[in-house]
Structure 1
Amino acid sequence: MGWWFGLGLGLATFPWLAHAFSFQSAMPYWLGWAAVAALAAYTALYWAVSLGLAHALTRSAPPAIFAIHAAALFVMAEWLRGWLLTGFPWNPLAAIWIPVPEVAQTASVIGAFGLSGLTMLVVGMAAAAARRDGLAPLFASLLGSAILVSATQTAAPLDTQVRISLVQANIDQSEKWLPGEAERQLGRYIALTRDEDVAGPRLVFWPETAILLPLDANPALQRAAVAGLGPDDLLFTGAVGDAPDFQHTNSVFVLDAAGSILARYDKAHLVPFGEYLPFAAVLERFGAARLVPGAADFVAGPGPATVELEGLKVGVAICYEVVFPASVVDSADRPAFLFNPSNDAWFGWGGPEQHLAQARLRAIEEGLPVIRATPTGHTAVIRSDGSIAAGLPAGRAARLDTYLPTASEPTLFAVWGNAIPLGASFMLLVAGLAVRRSTGGSKN
């Protein structure tokens, strides 16, 4: 039953992936729907294993004991899903609470994996109570406790006086990589960036691969990119970067108004089948190719890093990197905010919304504002409590001018990471075993 539920959930939430295959002429479109089915079947295994093990451990126990084991094992399974085979923690169960901030705030303590497990536990206890399981009331207060924890969280701090501009050029994926488009698209970003009426310095943010050519190897392109900046502005832009042995990286560059590169971050967690093709020698025989055009795979950077610019510390998580809990920030050098440039233009319906929800979970977990720039939406400024401070509608070319939100104090999750939900799930397993022994394993 766990596998069938996970399969249905995946089939309902992953169809956006099939749309991506419509932009890759080297692959038949039907492979997109095959990928959706395969990914749904794979992620369903984590539901099957956690619920199957819980059932095996609690065959003759009351339903409440099963709920305890299922929730604890589900947390561990979700953590494994974010790690095995490079990880795919997309769209955790915790994301359903984003519209309910009183509950979503518990992610600042137990993270997305912990909140997913807590959801499973509360639902399981409700089902046990419906079956008149006498143990259910012992755990029925868990959701109330979660809300109480979130109520103790202070409100998101006020904005800083740092002016920021997010540029959304509304460039569709069908035109992004066409021959001759690079210069025209750069012109659109420059035109939207330029504003002679803006006084004072700004931080300007462009999306992932807004610049399609290697930026670090082209001083003329660097000077052209900053044509819309004021004299004291800084530009954060996604671009292709050069790497040794004629390879390339998916990078973010920070440029000043003179076109000098002040800092660079290279994406570390690359997207399988997107930026590189695993098992290429085998899969290419079946017509598979990377979703991103080009003959060579991208190479990965070293991992989370904090960039310091004139006293302002910035973390960067490019696109898909933001979906990994406890892996988006250099905890030894905490930034003031997280920049999340992304290209969601190749996502189908539902994908950009799911991606935004996960960025909001990272803001809650880390207690950091997230600046999210995309070419077609959803471009947004996310406060450290996960709320949207400002945003642009999807499918519209525009610039968002606002102020940088302030970071909160480091959350418990920011300090301890996934050790909290994993430790709590282990203790929950021990508690479940203890309660089962005290009741003699009876279903009554």
Structure 2
Amino acid sequence: MPLWAAVAATAAAGFLLNLASAPVAWWPLTFVSVTVALLTLIGRTLGGSLLVGTVFGAMFYATHLVWVGEFLGPVPWLALAGLEALLFGVGAVPIALAYRWTAHHRARGVVQLLAVPLLVGGLWAVREVVMGSWPYSGFPWARVGMMQVGGPFVEVASWTGVTGLSFLIVTVCAAVVQRLRAGRSRLVRGLLLVGIVAALLAVTPQFPTTEAGTFRVGWVQGNGPTGYFDVKASGDVLAAQITATRPLHGQPMDLLAWPEGGVDADPLSDPAAAGALDQVVEAAGAPLLMNAATNRGDDVFNTSLLWTADPADRQWHDKVNPVPFGEYVPDRWFYELIVPDMVGLIQREYTPGTNPPLVQVGDVGVGLAICFDVIYDTVIWDGAQQGAEMFVFQTNNADFRGTDENLQQLAFARMRAVETGRAVVNVSTVGTSQVIAPDGTTLDSVGVDTAGAAVSTVPLRTGLTPSTVLGPWLTGFIVLASGIAFTAAGISYRVRTRAGATDHPTGRRSLR
């Protein structure tokens, strides 16, 4: 494909991948997007593959993350989208090399039709793993597997996790590409085989977890002034949550859940806030899972607290991955030289938490994830492995009102329900809040910019899915196996080209 055509095609593919995600969520476009993206990398030079991959990333991330600009304007949006696009482009280079290094194998042989798709799928998954962990704890927000939350392949995530699902989807797309390259004589039969594999993935059932009773959760979306630039006085956010909670008084519940930032004071050091929470617990007749910024020594944490009538029974979990440039500024001295006004707005420096993402409510383990921590696999796996029978995800979407951010984050919550086989209560300050069943379906919901509260009976589940048990091992295996296969392909190519140069000392033979 000529470079100009590849650039145009990859830009279109990047845009299609955004349409495959929430809120449009046309999941079949994932397969179209990935297939086109792979076609544009075949035959590319190193510079060409970097360009093509970066254009794909720029189109996708610029449209997918436009909500970032709602907070501080276009600079953070363009900076994040630009960084992610560049990393995506760098990750395209190994895929292009994989196509080049295996080009000498027979077009209709097992290497081209089986090994190459597996290698390409693995390299794409490796790119997602790297971008999800680096730099500054990474940003695993946009993954191919996550685009399938509304499609027929979502149940596969309970077996493989999101990374494994990404690997399988890209491998299927890469297999289609290789069948197209093999010629017409094998195309129909090849596409039929690929279709059979896709059909098997589509009918794969969710891994069954064990029913363990039910649990009544009261959840409250206060719609208070929780945005960074909202006009508010001290205590306004807490007051909004208390007001929105009152309709639940008298209703039996096992737990009352508030969103991230539902308390705008540190109840561990503020007697007035602590007293107000004591009254909420007494009126609800249940412990309160709330969230606030807390201070311990010189450290500040984003903390979810299980507030109980007896202080000795209180438990807490601190956010594991504070958001860079939102909850802390990494390398502050450097970025103050570039954008001092923006960096100066972020005065509070949150410390990463190290305590388990779990609280015990009676004999029921409740797994936790605070806002963007829902996108990190290990936080969810840790909660499930340590005994969570359901999850509560607390978030504050106020800084992204009117954007797609809350629906994209909600897609993660739905995927986590399916992945772990557990119900999820996703409670937001301003919406969208939802109660999600273990199969990913919605049980209760409150829309955006609305104060609302309800008591929902959610199913409890025990037993661990393969995803939560094997997820770290499977991710590591994909990375290691792809790295070994990629290295072996490179060595084989190098040996072959050196042998060719020796056999043709005139240099006429093309080494491409």
Q: TM-score range by the shorter chain?
A: 0.7 to 0.9
Following superposition, the deviation at residue 258 of structure 1 comes to 6.7
- 8 Å contact kept, 2:369–2:394: yes
* Partners of 1:2 and 1:51 within 8 A in 2: no
Q: Report if aligned partners of 1:163, 1:202 keep a CA contact under 8 Å in 2.
A: yes
Structure 2 residue 101 is matched with structure 1 residue 57: yes
Query: Residue 121 and residue 203 in structure 1: after superposition, are their counterparts in 2 closer, same or farther (change >3 A)?
Result: same
1:146 and 2:198 are equivalent in the alignment: no
Give the aligned partner of residue 253 of structure 2. Answer: 201
Residue matched to 2:415: 361
Residues 176-219 of structure 1: per-residue CA shift (max 9 Å, x gap): 66451x32221221111123663433411111111121121123
Corresponding residue for 1:305?
357
> Does 1:3 find its partner at 2:54?
yes
Larger radius of gyration: 2
Alignment of 1:404-415 (within 5 A): 404-407=458-461, 409-415=463-469
| 1:338 paired residue number | 391
Partner residue in 2 for 1:388: 442
Q: Where does 1:170-249 land on structure 2 (aligned, <5 Å)?
A: 170-174=223-227, 178=231, 180=233, 182-195=234-247, 198-229=250-281, 230=283, 232-245=285-298, 247-249=299-301
Alpha-carbon distance in structure 2 between the residues aligned to 1:261 and 1:91: 38
- SS of 2:307 mapped into structure 1: strand
CA displacement at 1:235 relative to structure 2: 0.7
The answer to whether the 8 Å contact 1:306/1:313 transfers is yes
In 2, the alpha carbon distance for the partners of 1:425 and 1:183 equals 48
CA distance in 2, matches of 1:33, 1:370: 30
Alpha-carbon distance between aligned partners in 2 of 1:98 and 1:170, rounded to the nearest angstrom: 27
> Displacement, 1:265?
1.0
SS of 2:121's equivalent?
Answer: helix
Q: Distance in 2 between matches of 1:105 and 1:7?
A: 30
Is contact 2:328–2:349 with CA below 8 Å preserved after alignment? yes
Per mean C-alpha deviation after superposition, the further-off stretch among 282-291 and 312-321 is 282-291
Structure 1 window deviating more from structure 2 (129-138 vs 412-421): it is 129-138
* Corresponding letter in the other structure for 1:396: T
- Would you say 1:74 and 2:128 are equivalent positions? no
Secondary structure of 1:194 counterpart:
helix
Per the TM alignment, residue 117 of structure 1 is displaced from its structure 2 partner at its CA by 1.6
SS in 2 for 1:105: helix
Structure 1 position 170, deviation (Å): 1.7
What percentage of aligned pairs have identical amino acids?
Answer: 23
Aligned length: 425
Unaligned runs of 5+ in 1: 22-28
1:282 to 318, 326, 334: 334
Q: Distance between the aligned counterparts of 2:360 and 2:213, measured in 1?
A: 17
Q: Pick 1 or 2: higher relative contact order, CA cutoff 8 A, min separation 6.
A: 1
Deviations 1:136-163 (A, max 9, x none): 4565533222123x23644x87794422
Could you tell me which residue of structure 2 aligns to residue 25 of structure 1?
none
Q: Contact conserved, 2:260 with 2:395, CA < 8 A, in 1?
A: yes
8 Å CA contact retained: 2:225, 2:231: no
Mark the CA change 1:172 to 1:142 in structure 2 (over 3 Å): closer, same or farther: farther
Partner Cα distance (2:288, 2:257) in 1: 6
Match of 1:89 among 126, 140, 143: 140
Which structure 1 residue ranges, 4+ long, deviate > 6 Å from structure 2? 156-159, 258-261, 289-292, 428-434
Q: Give the match's secondary structure for 2:400.
A: coil
Equivalent-residue separation in structure 2 for 1:197 and 1:296 (angstroms): 35
Q: Secondary structure at the match of 1:190?
A: helix
Report the Cα offset of residue 32 of structure 1: 2.9
Is contact 2:291-2:302 (8 Å) kept? Answer: yes
Q: Secondary structure at 1:418's aligned position in 2?
A: helix
- More displaced stretch, 131-140 vs 368-377: 131-140
Matches within 5 A, 1:124-163: 124-133=174-183, 134=186, 136=190, 139-148=194-203, 150-151=204-205, 153-154=207-208, 160-163=213-216
Asked if the contact 1:94/1:112 (under 8 Å) is kept, the reply is yes
Question: Following TM superposition, by how much is the alpha carbon of 1:303 offset from its aligned partner in structure 2, in angstroms?
Answer: 4.8
Structure 1 residue 173, shift from structure 2 partner = 4.8
Distance in 1 of aligned mates of 2:339 and 2:196: 53
Q: Indicate the residue corresponding to 2:32 in structure 1.
A: none
Contact map agreement 1:365 1:411 (CA 8 A) in 2: yes
Contact 2:206/2:418 (<8 A) preserved:
no
Report the equivalent of 2:171.
121
Rounded Cα–Cα distance in structure 2 between residues aligned with 1:198 and 1:283: 51
Larger CA deviation: 56-65 vs 121-130: 56-65
